[in-house]
Amino acid sequence: MKFSLCIGAYPGKDEIYHLEKIKEHGWHGLEYYAWWNLEDLKRTAREQERIGVGISATCTKFISLVDESLRDAYLEGVRQTIEACRILNVSSVISQTGNELEGVPRDVQRRTMVETLKRCAPLFEEAGIVLEVEPLNGLVDHRGHFLQRSDESVDVIDQVGSPNVKLVFDVYHQQITEGNVIRNATGYIDRINHYHIADNPGRKQPGTGELNYVNILRAIKETGFDGFVGLECGYTIDTDEAIGQFKREVLAAL
């Protein structure tokens, strides 16, 4: 497994500072969500090459997959994002699904999502980039988000049927939505491209809540998974101290 940090791990610091810190910790990537906020993509690309660590994941420019009237805007955002990924050498693009639409049957919205993803798939296949759909919890953080459960998310991915459209499995969100984390995190391994981790409650660093990340990450590792696990969390202590603690108490036990 490879480990990444998310932008904001060092509040107020830019992507270059984060990349330097990731290199210092011996980790492997940075998740920088809003690529369009970077001042100069080519400068960031040069800095990545100098440091030896790069952005491992970013996000799509438009997030609604369930609103057919926004399909063209979503696809244009995808095209722009793929071009940015080519400059930055990013291989994973995260997409939320947008909120459920009032007055539109859920099965209609699902079909809209599947069709939009099917139209995206050839673009990502040609670029050699994976589009990752992310289910989010609707109880605490994202009320109304369309995709929340693992099983429904996997069904959508299976209907799309592309090796370049998969899931990002966020352990924090799925613990809130459904529990049963290890069974789902490993049982759907062939549809998952990477993982997000944070503890619950609070969405802080592993070790601050109820989730046993030694057991969770060990189970994922035993599947042979060699992709990214991103710490998408806040920190109750200094970030460097928290990462050191995570290495000693979790990674050392895997």
Catalytic-role residue among 15, 31, 132, 232: 232
Catalytic-role residue among 49, 115, 134, 249: 134
Phi, psi of 250 (to 5 degrees): -115, -60
Is residue 132 annotated as a catalytic residue, yes or no?
A: no
Is residue 232 annotated as a catalytic residue, yes or no?
A: yes
Query: In this structure, which amino acid lies at residue 183?
Result: R
Q: Which residues are catalytic?
A: 134, 232
